[in-house]
Amino acid sequence: MPKLRVHCFTISLDGYGAGPDQSPENPLGVGGEELHDWLVATRTWRKMHGKEGGAEGIDDDFAARPWENVGAWIMGRNMFGPVRGPWPDESWRGWWGDNPPYHCPVFVLTHHPRPPLQMKGGTTFHFVTTGAESALEQAVASAGGKDVLVGGGASTIQQYLRARLIDELHYAIAPILLGGGARLFDNLGGGPQGYECVELVGSPTAAHVRLSRTPG
């Protein structure tokens, strides 16, 4: 049965999944790029970007998991870009260049409509103004029986956690302090209810935690 999953979402030691003041120069907020030092060093990441080499082991194993059996993605507007309010035009096309890494439909949560954006490599961004559950319905319908991944950011993941719709959540804890930004586990009424830790392993550069939804 298809699952709704989160993989490789990284938080700081003080719980932030992005730093403050996101901008084109700082896509993850000030200091936020350091969150993914563990990820960009892996063999999987380097191969995706046409590079050779890279670290193997625990971090690489987790870096490879998001791409297994995935038919669609969901992300928040802040993950798609730094533009706020009504779209001034259609010039912003994401952080990833002409060939984003998704290669499948991507559903972007937003309050402001915009036509679908077709990119190279099979990625099409669909801008959903009818809410998180509507985006999930569209993603599942487009995924062809495969899993749907929620990429982020923190507020988008929170919406699906509050509704207890996420089946599996993997997050990495990076050894940095950001001091501000967006916390992953805020706005959940005390924490993610109905989930248990099923995996906890560490590497020299990150601790990896995997939560699974409990029955009932």
Residue numbers of the domain that contains 151: 4-84+98-213
Please state the rounded mean pLDDT for residues 181-196: 90
Does any domain span residue 92? no
Does any domain span residue 91? no
What percent of the chain is predicted at pLDDT more than 70?
Answer: 100
Contact 7, 150 (CB under 8 A): no
Does any domain span residue 182? yes
pLDDT of residue 190 exceeding 80: no
Does any domain span residue 89? no
Across all residues in the chain, what is the average pLDDT? 94
Contact 18, 157 (CB under 8 A): no
- Please report how many Cα atoms fall inside a 13 Å half-sphere around the Cα of residue 96, on the Cβ side: 15
Using CA atoms, how far residue 46 sits from 6, 50, 169, 195, 214, in Å, is 21, 6, 23, 32, 35
pLDDT of residue 216 exceeding 80: no
Distance of CA 54 to the CA centre of its chain: 22
pLDDT of residue 209 exceeding 90: yes
Residues in contact with 145: Cβ distance below 8 Å, sequence separation at least 6, in sequence order: 2, 71
Number of domain units in the chain: 1
Contact 1, 140 (CB under 8 A): no
Does any domain span residue 93? no
CA distance 2 to 159: 19
Contact 147, 4 (CB under 8 A): yes
CATH code for position 169: 3.40.430.10
Please state the rounded mean pLDDT for residues 163-178: 97
Residues in contact with 56: Cβ distance below 8 Å, sequence separation at least 6, in sequence order: 42, 43
pLDDT of residue 30 exceeding 90: yes
What is the pairing mode between strands 147-152 and 70-76? Answer: parallel
118 token code pair: 């077709």
Q: Is 101 exposed, middle or buried (0-12, 13-18, 19+ CB in 10 A)?
A: middle
CA distance 76 to 93: 14
Does any domain span residue 201? yes
| Among candidate residues 168, 170, 176, 145, the one with its CA nearest the CA of residue 36 | 176
Does any domain span residue 176? yes
Query: How many DSSP H helices and E strands does the chain contain?
Result: 6, 11
pLDDT, one tens digit per residue, over 36-67 is 999 999 999 999 888 999 999 999 999 999 88
